[in-house]
Every structure is written in C-alpha cells, then in structure tokens.
C-alpha cells in the first residue's frame, strides 16, 4: 500500500469515490433485478400461481435471462417518432434515480471512509432538484412517440408528478424544523441520539410515503401507464433496451424513494436500541450498518410490491383530488403544527 499512500490526497479521494460509485451501482442494479423477481413471486402468490421457477433454483436466475433477452431483442425505432428525443427519454428517466443515491448515507464509516458518495450540506435540496428531472424523461417519451396513447400518458405523468412533488417537498419541512440540518448524515445522527423521526413526525412520513407511490408511478397511482386505457402509456412504442431502461428506472426510483424514507424517518443505518458508539472494530460496525440500511430498504420495497397487487387503481379525478385537496393542505397543517410544537417546547425551556 506504499504506492497508494504516496498518491496525492486528491487522487486518493478520486479513487475512493470511483470505488464507492461502482459498489453502489452494482448493489442497486442487483436490487433492481431481484426486486422484479420478488414482485413476480408475490403476484403469483396473490393470484394463486407459481411464478418464475424454471431458470435456476426457485427461478433465481430469471432476472439474468430477462436481461439477456432485453439485450438480444431487436431495437426497433418506429418511422413516425421524433428520433433524438425518442432515444434520450429512457436515459433521462433512469439517470436521476441513480444520481439521488449519490447523497444517501448508507453507513457511517467503513475504515476511514464515509459511506456516502457525496456528503452535501444541502443533500435534501439536491435530491428534490434531481428527482424533479425524472418527469422530463416521461413527458419526452410521450411527446417523442408521436402517438396519442403515449402522449396522454406523458401528460398524465407530468400533472401527477408535479402535484405530488409539492406535497412530498412540504412533508420534509417538519423534519428539518426538528433536526435543524439539511445534511442527510446529520439527520441520521439526530435520530440516533433522539429517536427515529417517524415517532416525532408520523404525518410527514405518511405524506412522504403516499407521495413516493405517486412519484414512482406505482399502483394505485399508475395512471401514466394504465394498460386498460392507454395500452402501456408513455412506453408503448419502446422495445428492447429502451423499454428495459424505463422498467429499470421505475425500480431504481422505488429504491431511491425507500432509501430516502429510511434516511429521513427510520433512522438510516442506526437501530433504536444502539447508539453511535461501539467498542467493536470499525469495519465490522460499518458492514453491519450497511446491512441494517439495506434491510430497512428491503422492507419498504416489499411494501411497494405488496400494495401493487392488493389495491385498485384510482380514477384520474380521484388522484388529483387527493393530491391537491387532501395532501397539500394536510402538509401545510403539518408544518404549522410542528412549528407551534417546537415554539411551545422552546418557550417552556
């Protein structure tokens, strides 16, 4: 390791950043693949079927087969589409989900390295800025397809995501009123010392979770796809890896939303009965913290999947009514109630 120690601090930082990016990307892509396998198994159980069971033991190699199939399918571009936008849209959907994960702290430290790719002081503002870009990919897919059903899906998605993003953004304001820090690592450390914020701000957690279902276009908010009405919505004209990118983007967004909920409300990589200090070797603590974080994300992913196969789809007027006439006023009331509670608590002291 003498050669590594002889490198400049900037070079060492760059190497560690590349390694962390590669590890996070590998873990996320593996989780995306096997989330699809879990969803197919859960849907089979709900509908009294077997599900994937041919490729590998219990069908565990089915995601590999699906990936190979996506690569080998003909990448067909219809003649009537707007080609440049048609090619850009799947990438614009996929990339923001991965960029959000750059600021998620999935552990405290592993050795001397922080377990976060970019430890920003305004991490939550960054995440909302990046998440809002995902809608452009869906709208662009609907526009570029030059077909009525994808266009309807894109318009629905833009209205839906803008509506629920407002409620989602307001739902985290009480979190930062309580914590007093926009750094996501600071939010987790506050929860390690004072308890998980889901206990102090349960309404914020509920609003954020409902908005996450809408932001990821999952049932009961999957109106942009709505197969019975719009064939497949904004991705009707897509095939091969372009369609796979939309598919992977949906699951990557679910993972990012779950990771945000774990970070903001469920203590991140901490446990309610364990503090920040531990005499065990730091690398053991680091690996355990990563496992705890991934375990919490897996539970929330299971909730996303379960809801899809147990709840019916809203009508579009019901979806917009819930967003504007229920969620937004409730989020405003939640902010006011939290501010009054903190003011009263400060006045007593």
Task: Work out the pLDDT band at 332, boundaries 50, 70, 90.
Answer: very high
The mean predicted confidence, pLDDT, of the chain is 84
Report the pLDDT averaged over residues 65-93: 84
Percent residues over pLDDT 90 in the chain = 23
CB neighbours of 231 closer than 8 A, spacing ≥ 6? 149
* Pairing of the two strands 109-110 and 113-114: antiparallel
Report the pLDDT averaged over residues 36-62: 89
Report the pLDDT averaged over residues 147-167: 82
Task: Work out the pLDDT band at 207, boundaries 50, 70, 90.
Answer: very high
In the chain, % helix, strand, coil (3-state, to 5) comes to 70, 0, 25
Instruction: Note the pLDDT of residue 302.
Output: 92
pLDDT digits (tens, 9 = 90+) for 284-312: 888 888 899 999 999 999 999 999 888 88
CB neighbours of 155 closer than 8 A, spacing ≥ 6? 139, 142
Nearest residue to 159 (alpha-carbon basis) of 125, 135, 133 = 135
Burial, 16: exposed, middle or buried (Cβ in 10 Å; 0-12, 13-18, 19+)?
Answer: middle
pLDDT of 90 > 90? The answer is no
Instruction: Note the pLDDT of residue 81.
Output: 83
Among 117-121, 258-262, 316-320, name the most confident range: 258-262
Instruction: Note the pLDDT of residue 121.
Output: 85
């Amino acid at each position: 390791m003498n050669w590594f120690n002889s490198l400049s601090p900037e070079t060492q930082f760059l190497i560690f950043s590349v390694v962390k990016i590669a590890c996070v990307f590998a873990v996320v892509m593996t989780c995306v693949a096997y989330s699809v396998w879990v969803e197919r198994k859960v849907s089979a159980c709900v509908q009294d079927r077997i599900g994937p069971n041919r490729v590998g033991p219990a069908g565990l190699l089915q995601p590999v087969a699906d990936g190979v199939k996506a690569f080998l399918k003909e990448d067909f571009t219809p003649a009537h589409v707007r080609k440049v936008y048609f090619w850009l849209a799947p990438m614009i959907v996929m990339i923001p989900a991965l960029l959000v994960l750059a600021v998620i702290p999935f552990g405290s430290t592993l050795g001397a390295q922080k377990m976060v790719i970019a430890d920003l002081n305004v991490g939550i503002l960054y995440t909302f800025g990046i998440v809002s870009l995902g809608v452009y990919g869906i709208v662009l897919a609907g526009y570029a397809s030059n077909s009525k059903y994808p266009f309807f899906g894109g318009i629905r998605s833009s209205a839906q995501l803008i509506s629920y993003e407002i409620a989602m953004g307001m739902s985290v304001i009480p979190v930062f009123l309580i914590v007093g820090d926009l750094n996501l690592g600071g939010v987790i450390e506050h929860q390690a010392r004072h308890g998980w914020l889901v206990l102090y701000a349960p309404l914020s957690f509920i609003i954020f979770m409902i908005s996450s279902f809408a932001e990821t276009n999952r049932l009961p908010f999957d109106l942009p796809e709505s197969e019975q009405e719009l064939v497949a919505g904004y991705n009707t004209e897509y095939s091969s890896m372009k369609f796979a990118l939309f598919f992977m983007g949906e699951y990557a967004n679910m993972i990012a939303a779950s990771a945000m909920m774990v970070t903001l409300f469920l203590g991140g990589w901490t446990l309610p009965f364990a503090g920040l200090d531990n005499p065990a070797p730091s690398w053991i603590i680091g690996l355990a913290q990563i496992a705890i974080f991934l375990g919490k994300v897996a539970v929330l992913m299971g909730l996303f999947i379960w809801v899809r196969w147990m709840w019916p789809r809203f009508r579009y007027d019901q979806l917009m009514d819930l967003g504007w006439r229920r969620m937004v006023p409730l989020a405003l009331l939640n902010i006011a109630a939290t501010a009054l509670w903190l003011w009263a608590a400060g006045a007593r002291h």
